Amino acid sequence: MKKVLYFLIVFSLVLTVNAFSQPKTILVSPARSYALTLKLSSLGIGLDGTTNIAKDFNVRAGGQFFKFAVDGGKAGDDYLYTADTKLLSFSALVDYFPGGSIFKVSGGLLINLNKVETKLVPGQTYVVNGKTYDKNNLGDVTTTTEFTKVNPYLGIGIGNPLNYKQFGFTMDIGTIYQFEPQVTMAGNGLIAPTATQANIVQSNISWFKVYPVVMFGLTYKFN
């Protein structure tokens, strides 16, 4: 019995010494890097800041904006309009580069402050029962289209800003699910009752729930 006990003690000591003598695998986090991206996209012009959080994973946050106006209609039409589009959004995304490749899969959230304001005015003068209603005295109708403020984003792309020595290029293609647009209308003058058709207008554009995103970026890595 003593021999068996002695053997077990010696065997245990041998296993312990052998375990401590084995080479250890130490997981080392990748060095933290930073990059800035100047981007041009269907969401506007903006900047992104990027850093790495793990092997093959980056996070980026930024914003983009743009503004433009479109006039429509011509003299003699029922209505003339001016549509002012204001693009403003902020994003927080995670990029995954499978196997450390240049290809990426991206996902995250977008704060959507995009807005379209449209002003309609009569385009012609009307004569009703012998009475003339000049187009300049009929009033106007303003339509405002907005979107749900927090939207999910999913996309793919190429280019890792942190893999370039300094300057680089990225491209993204994706979609934002912005839910159904919300429409409000306000009017004044004789055509003010037209503003009661907001629900009809909203129903007509209810299909516009997915916003396509195409983005090109010039990147700069901080050494």
- CA 154 – CA 104 distance, rounded (Å): 11
Phi, psi of 122 (to 5 degrees): -60, 145
What are the distances in angstroms from CA 174 to CA 43, 74, 108, 152, 213? 11, 37, 11, 11, 5
Q: Which residue has the tokens 């790495």?
A: 52
pLDDT at 39: 97
pLDDT at 22: 39
CA dihedral sign of residues 99, 104, 107, 110: positive
- Report the Cα 20 to chain-centroid distance in Å: 51
SS3 content of the chain, % helix, strand, coil (to 5): 20, 55, 25
- Mean pLDDT of each 10-residue bin along the chain, 223 residues long: 43 40 46 94 97 95 96 82 96 96 96 95 82 82 95 97 94 97 92 88 93 97 88
pLDDT at 30: 65
Asked if residues 213 and 175 have their Cβ atoms less than 8 Å apart, the reply is yes
SS3 177: strand
Q: 115-122 and 140-146: which strand pairing? A: antiparallel
pLDDT at 7: 43
4: number of Cβ within 10 Å: 8
pLDDT at 166: 92
Residues, the chain, total?
A: 223
Angle, vertex CA 110, rays to CA 116 and CA 119, nearest 5: 5
Domains annotated for the chain, with CATH where assigned, are 30-222 (2.40.160.170)
Asked if residues 190 and 121 have their Cβ atoms less than 8 Å apart, the reply is no
